[in-house]
Structure 1
Amino acid sequence: MPLRESFPIGGVRMRAGTTRELSLPITRMVTGAEVSVPVRIVHGREDGPVVWLTAATHGDEVVGIEVIREVLTSLSPKTFRGTLVAVPIVNVLGFMAGDRYLPDRRDLNRSFPGSARGSLASRIAHLLMTEVIRKGSVGIDLHTGAFGRTNLPQVRGDLDDPETRSLAEAFGAPVMYHAKLRDGSLRAAAREVGCRVLLYEAGESWRMDDWAVAAGVAGVRRVLAALNMIDGADAVPDGANQECRTSGWVRARNTGILMLDVDLGQHVSIGQRLGVLTDSFGKTVRLVRADRAGIVIGRAQTPLVNSGDALVHIAQ
């Protein structure tokens, strides 16, 4: 059987049936040292689709980095069908600085599709679009909650598109959420060039939550199996794929110390007590109650909250 064509990326061409790591240069530091985006490619021996995985588009989101590492260790280019392009740390500068954003304070996930002559964020976005995103037909973008928040494992995407919906169901997260596209996001830019994208959310920033990693690894492998790129993925767990179309945060109506009574994945009803805000002596300042029925897909982790802060994210 003739080998597949070689795969072009970063100025090189990869032979079928091989794995390779390379760096895509983005800028130089003041010391002159080059800063590059790390990429690993598994170019299978047999035909199949091109799929990309991205993580740490926000520099403080580490769960996706470990998801990609564990997925890659389970793959062999000799038996893999298709091509996987994995970018574990998109926002290298933010990651090295311990910051969600880039040094110019721009949000990389609001800078796509970017420009070769734009801001630093715009240039990184353009590089990723050119070398990775445009070459794939399916992508999975891995994220976690923002600082001080944790998220239930969930996939977000266009559930009205039958193919995207099928991939979301294959992923098998507890919740699949029909999410609108946001201008400047990687998902929106990828969709414009014909790539179907799932966005995975789980865990908390700067936390290597084992449960979030495990759900991500299993979900990515199930998607690869659904695309006939691998064999032997885990079955979709019972109770997975609860479909949600709207959501909202219950916000603090007073300043206080927060103690929540609800966990991720818990179903709540309107008016149900979710927790309490107290003063420094433990006196109740305000009860926190659900303003809608649904499933808890996110919650605050920090004890001190100010009036207006987001406390519990409920999806319907």
Structure 2
Amino acid sequence: MKNTTPITILGEVILPGQSKTIDMEIAKLHNTAKLKIPIIIQRSKIDGPTVLFSAGIHGDEINGVEIVRQLITKKINKPKRGTIICIPIINMFGFINMSRQFPDGRDLNRVFPGSKKGSLASRFAYHILTEIMPLVDYAVDFHAGGASRFNAPQIRLAPNSPELKELADVFNAPFTLFSKNIAGSFRNSSQKLNVKMLLFEGGKSLDINESIADAGVDGVKRVLAHLEMLDPKHLVKEQASKTIYIEKSGWIRAKCSGLLHDQNTIGSFVKKGTILAIITDPFGKFERKIKAPNDGYIINANLSPIVYQGDAIYHISKTLEK
């Protein structure tokens, strides 16, 4: 069915069949230079859903930025029907500074729904939620692990959400975790607007990993094909196996400080007692093995070469949901 309805974002009108990049300018840098956050919109002339792909809500999580960049450069964001909105970098301040936070020290992903007259981060949250999200039906927000922690590619969704679970099945990342919405998060506020949002986690901060980017891009293509929005020229790569749902998981913490020698088990299924890493001191006096406390999948690994007692070093699944 032909679409004749225009949409408006930040005062700019985008007609069906039109493509437009809108620069969101909420504040300038401290040297008065303008700071623009590009919002890339592609619309089909055929009616359909509106899908958002966003990344960089934490400025140092550039693997997600790379995924959204690929969607644009490969023209995957050009829909057969409906509208696709891409925001490769939401937190441009943090991206410039290679920092997770906003300049005001706040985590943007904890201040939603924001305030028109609040802190800098709060104002950004407010404009995203009021200008963009009311138009959106589906969304995927891309993240990476922080503080040297490398996430195996995974989708996170709130429990007891049948529609999101169906979408996660379609995305078919290697892992899918049930994770409650956090107060103040982008995902939590989007859900209240009835936006069906998946959160993708993969890789670590300040890093671009090719296999993680491939998992993200392939998942997006499967979702768009499911929504009948993917241009037929884009081949959909089907996964050989279905996503592994993880209902419960826990952190393994370092029992001593020292140098961490990782045994490269990220993404693997390990048996109880498997050696995941060895912690040593710099002077050759001790070596302490870190063993898996139970059978499970290693879905996150701390790749920092130096750890302190109590540091979270591995995230392992405890029970699986079929």
Normalising by structure 2, what TM-score? Answer: 0.93
Q: Are residues 1:242 and 2:258 paired?
A: no
Closer, same or farther: CA 79–298 of 1 in aligned 2, 3 Å: closer
**C-alpha contact 2:58 2:108 (8 A) present in aligned 1:** yes
* Letter of the structure 2 residue corresponding to residue 279 of structure 1: D
Q: 1:274 aligns with which of 273, 276, 298?
A: 276
Q: Which amino acid aligns with 1:200?
A: F
Aligned pairs for 1:14-93 (under 5 A) are 14-75=14-75, 80-93=80-93
Q: Secondary structure at the match of 2:299?
A: strand
Confirm or deny: 8 A CA contact 1:111 1:125 kept in the other structure.
yes
Contact 1:142 1:201 in 2 (8 A): yes
Q: In the superposition, relative to structure 1, how do residues 78 and 169 fare at CA in structure 2: closer, same or farther (>3 Å)?
A: closer
Q: Paired residue for 1:300?
A: 302
| Distance (Å, rounded) in 2 between the aligned partners of 1:88 and 1:143 | 11
Conserved 8 A contact 1:155-1:201 = yes
- Give the Cα separation in 1 of the matches to 2:35 and 2:78: 32
- What amino acid sits opposite 2:207 in the alignment? R
Partners in 2 of 1:238 and 1:183 — Cα distance? 36
Contact 1:299–1:313 (8 Å) recurs in 2: yes
How far, CA to CA, are the matches of 1:276 and 1:307 in structure 2?
A: 13
Q: CA deviation at 1:105?
A: 1.0
The aligned counterpart of 1:129 is 129
CA contact (8 A) 1:174 1:241 kept: yes
State percent identity of aligned pairs. Answer: 36
Q: Which moved more, 1:268-277 or 1:120-129?
A: 268-277
Distance 1:191 1:244 in 2: 21
* TM-score, scaled to structure 1: 0.95
Partner of 1:252: 254
1:312 paired residue number: 314
Mark the runs of 5 or more structure 1 residues left unpaired by the alignment. none
Match of residue 225 from structure 2: 225
Q: Report if the CA contact (8 A) 1:113-1:122 is conserved.
A: yes
CA distance in 1, matches of 2:4, 2:168: 29
C-alpha distance in 2 between matches for 1:68 and 1:266: 27
Aligned 8 A contact 1:268 1:290 in 2: yes
The Cα of 1:233 is off from its aligned counterpart by 4.5
Residues 77 and 110 (structure 1), Cα distance of their counterparts in 2 relative to 1, 3 Å cut: closer
State the AA in 1 paired with 2:272. I
Q: 1:236 to 1:102 in 2, by over 3 A?
A: same
What is the distance in 1 between the residues matched to 2:210 and 2:67?
10
Q: Any idea what the Cα deviations from partners look like across 1:224-276, whole Å, max 9, x if unmatched?
A: 11111114552431223100011111110001111122422111223322111
Of 231-240 and 19-28, the range deviating more from structure 2: 231-240
Cα deviation 1:152-189 (Å, max 9, x = unaligned): 00001125222111110111110011111101110000
Tell whether 2:151 aligns with 1:151: yes
- Determine if contact 2:42/2:78 at 8 Å carries over to the other structure: no
